[in-house]
Amino acid sequence: MKSLFLSAALPVLILAAGPALAESAPVDPAAASATNPPPHFPRDLTPEGVKAVDDHLALEEVDGAEARAFVAASNEKALAALTGDRRYEPFRQQAEAILTATDRIPGVSFLGEGLGNFWQDAANPKGVWRRTTLDSYRSNRPQWETLLDIDALAKAEGRDWVFKGANCLAPDETRCLINLSDGGKDAVTVREFDLTTKTFVEGGFVIPEGKHRLTWLDRDTLLIATDFGPGTMTESGYPFIVKSLKRGHPLGHATEVYRGQQSDGGYGVLPMVFRDKAGAVEAVLFSRPLDTFRSETWRFVDGRTYKLRIPERVSIYGMLDGKLVFTPEEAFSRDILGYGGGPAGALMVMALDSLHDRPDGSRPVPSHFASQAFVPSPRQSIADVAVLSDRLVVAINDNVSGRLSVLTPQGEFPWTATNIAVPANTAVGLGDSSKSKGQVFVSTQGFLTPPTLSLADVSTAALTELKSAPAKFDASTHVVEQFEATSTDGTKIPYFVTRPKTLAMDGTGPTILFGYGGFQASFPPAYKPEMGKLWLENGGVFVQANIRGGGEFGPGWHQAALRENRQRAFDDFAAVARDLEQRKITSPRHLGIYGRSNGGVLTSVSITQHPELFNAAVIESPLIDMLRYQDLPAGASWIGEYGDPRIPGDAEFIARYSAYQQLRPEVKYPRVYITTNTRDDRVHPGHARKFAARLGDQGHDHLYYEDTAGGHSNDADPVANARRWARHYVYLAQQLMD
C-alpha cells in the first residue's frame, strides 16, 4: 500500500562559499566521519549511546518549558526577518487570494444521487461540507446545500475542529462517519452523521480521538482498529487489532475478529470492505502491516480469516466480479500462487476464492482466471486504478507524464485497452468512482496548465469536461522542459524545468529545486498557483527532480533507494543540481532547495553533504535526526523505508547521512529556513527544533519558525496557509534573488 506522502515543491539554492569551497570535490560523509567525525557524532551507535550525546533532548518534549522558550525566541527572530520584509504582505495577500478564491474547482465525490464537496474560503476558513446535483454542478453557478458547517461547529463546541473527511455507507449514503481533528492532527474523533436530517445521530456511533482504522460493515456494524486499551497499540502508536462494533454498544463491548502482533510496523491494521454496484459486500479484507511496505492480506468470511497467497509488497485496488484487482510490488511466481504470477508493477486480476485455502484446510484448484491486465514498460508506472463493475480505469505515468486507459476483460485472459485522450505533458489523476453509474472523475494539470476536472464514462470511453480552473498567474512568460541528469552510478534521473522563456543562460536564474525521493510517491507535473504567482511571475525558475525512492518508474525505482541504498536518492538530487549548473540555468549562488516530511531528510542531508551546491533550503515538517527517529512518534512505522537504528548494521549506514549528527562548525552552510508545526503528530517537531538548535550552537546563521496548529498536512486553515507560503517565498527571494 502506498504511504507517507507527501507533498509540495520549491526552489534550489547554492551557497557562496568562496572559490576553494565551491570548487572542492564532493565529500564522502562516511570517510569524513571516520577520519574526523563531527563533534556530535556518537562513538557508540546504540540507542543509549546516541541519546547520551544528544544535548537537545528537552526539545523533544512537545509542550515542555524549554521547548516553548526555544520556539518563542526562534519565532521572534524568524518573523522579524520574514514578515518584516517588504515582499511579505504582497505575497501573503496574493497567496490568500489564491487559496480562498471562489473560482477554484470544487473537488467532488459521488454522494448518494448527488455530489459532495468540502469547501474552504475567506468566509469559512474551517470549511463547509456540502452537496449538489451533477446537473447543477455542470452549471456556472451550482446550487449548494450545506450539510455541515465546520466553522459553526467549532465555535459552538469551543474546539479547533478540522474536517478530515467522511465515510458514507453505500448504497444510499445517508449515514456517514465524520472525522474531526483537533488542530489538524492525524488523530481524529469520529461521529455518525445523518444526511437526511443534517445532524449528528443521537445515540449513534462516536469514537473518541485516536488514529483509527475503521469502515462500515453494515448499517449497524463497524469494523474498527483503534486503541482498545493497554497493549493494543504497536510501538509506532497504531492499532493491530480489528473488532466488530455493534450500534448502541460501547467500544469496550466490541468483538475481536482479527489480531496482528504488537511488534507490527507500518500504519496499523486496515479493514477493507469492497462492495458491488448495488452496495452488497463482495469481500472483507484485513491488511496487516509487517513493516512500512510489507503486509499480510487476510480475508474475513463467515466469521473466519484466511491468509491470501499474494506477495507481501502489494497495492490492492478493489474487487471486479469476484476477482481481486492488485499490483504486486515485487515479482512473484507460480511457486507462490500455484499458478500464473506476474512482474513487479503489473496490474493483476485474480479470482479471490482461489487465493486462500478452503475452510477444511485444503488448497483450491488453481483458478483459470488469473491475468495480467496491464504490464508497464520500464519507463512507466501505474499511478492509480478505478475498479468499476465490469472494467478498470487506469492512470499511467509514462516518463512522468500522464496517460489514461480503460481496460476491459475479453473472455478468460485477454484484455482490451481503450485509450482516452488527455492533454500531453500533464499529470492525470483519478478521483472518486461509482460502480453503479460506471463513471470516474479525472483531473489533468501541468506546471503551466490549470487543473481541469472531467467525468469519464467507461462504457463509451468518453471524457466530458465539467470544470476548468482559471489561471492564477501569467504562464505566457515561462516554458516547461524535461531533462535528465546522470547520477553517481550512471542512472539517468529525469527532471522538469519551468523557466522564463527569456532566461539568460549565464547561471543567474534564481531556482527552486524540489525533491522527495521516498515512500514510492510520484511527482508528475502539477499546477502550483501560489508558486507561479509568488515565484515564476517574479522571474524565478522551478525544478522538480524525479529521484529514486519515488514511484515514477514503478516499485523498482522506489526500492533502489531503500535502507542501505538511501544515499542514491541524495546522489540523484545532487546530480540534478550539478546538471542545472552545467546547463547554465542556475549556479550555487542562485539555487535553493525545498522539501517537506521525507523531503526534509533529503534537504537536510543535501546541505550537510553538499553545502557548495546550494544557497538556500526550506526544510519543512522534516525528519532529520535519523538515529532517533524511531523513538519519536510515529517514527517506528517507517523502519521499512529507512532501516532500524536499534540494529547495529542499520545504525551504521544511517549514521553516515543523518544530518543532525553530521553538522560541523567549520563548514559554511547556507542560511537555511526550518519550519514545522507544534501539532504535527505524524513527524515529531523535535526533529526540526533540534536541528535548528544545533545550527545555532555551532554559529550557523539560520531561521526557525514553528506554527501552533495545522498538523502535518497544513490543511487546517487557508488563511494561515497563505502566511506559510508567504514566509517560504520571502526567504527564497532573500537568498536567491537579492
d(C-alpha 587, C-alpha 698), whole Å: 26
In the three-class reduction of DSSP (H, G, I as helix; E, B as strand; rest coil), residue 455 is classed as strand
pLDDT of residue 218: 98
pLDDT of residue 16: 27
pLDDT of residue 366: 53
d(C-alpha 472, C-alpha 301), whole Å: 51
d(C-alpha 10, C-alpha 512), whole Å: 5
Q: Which three cell numbers stand for residue 677?
A: 508545526
* Cα distances (Å, whole numbers) of residue 143 to 114, 117, 147, 177: 12, 12, 13, 24
For the chain (738 residues), the mean pLDDT of every run of 10, in chain order, is 32 28 39 74 97 98 97 98 98 97 96 97 95 97 98 97 97 97 93 98 97 97 97 94 97 97 94 97 97 96 94 97 95 60 90 86 60 93 97 97 95 84 94 96 98 95 95 98 98 98 98 98 97 98 98 97 98 98 98 98 98 98 98 93 98 98 98 95 96 98 92 81 97 98
φ and ψ of 431, to 5 deg: -100, -150
Angle subtended at Cα 277 by Cα 272 and Cα 283, rounded to the nearest 5 degrees? 30
pLDDT of residue 713: 75
Which DSSP state fits 469?
P
Cα radius of gyration (the chain): 25
Is the Cα torsion angle 584, 588, 594, 595 positive or negative in sign?
positive
Whether the bond between 470 and the residue before it is cis, its omega within 30 degrees of 0, is no
d(C-alpha 402, C-alpha 380), whole Å: 10
214, 224 contact by CB (below 8 A)? yes
d(C-alpha 639, C-alpha 643), whole Å: 5
pLDDT of residue 335: 52
pLDDT of residue 413: 62
- Which has the closest alpha carbon to 692: 707, 671, 708? 671
Q: Which residues are catalytic?
A: 597, 712
How are beta strands 672-677 and 616-620 bridged, if at all? parallel
What's the longest Cα–Cα distance across the chain? Answer: 75
pLDDT of residue 334: 54
d(C-alpha 583, C-alpha 596), whole Å: 27
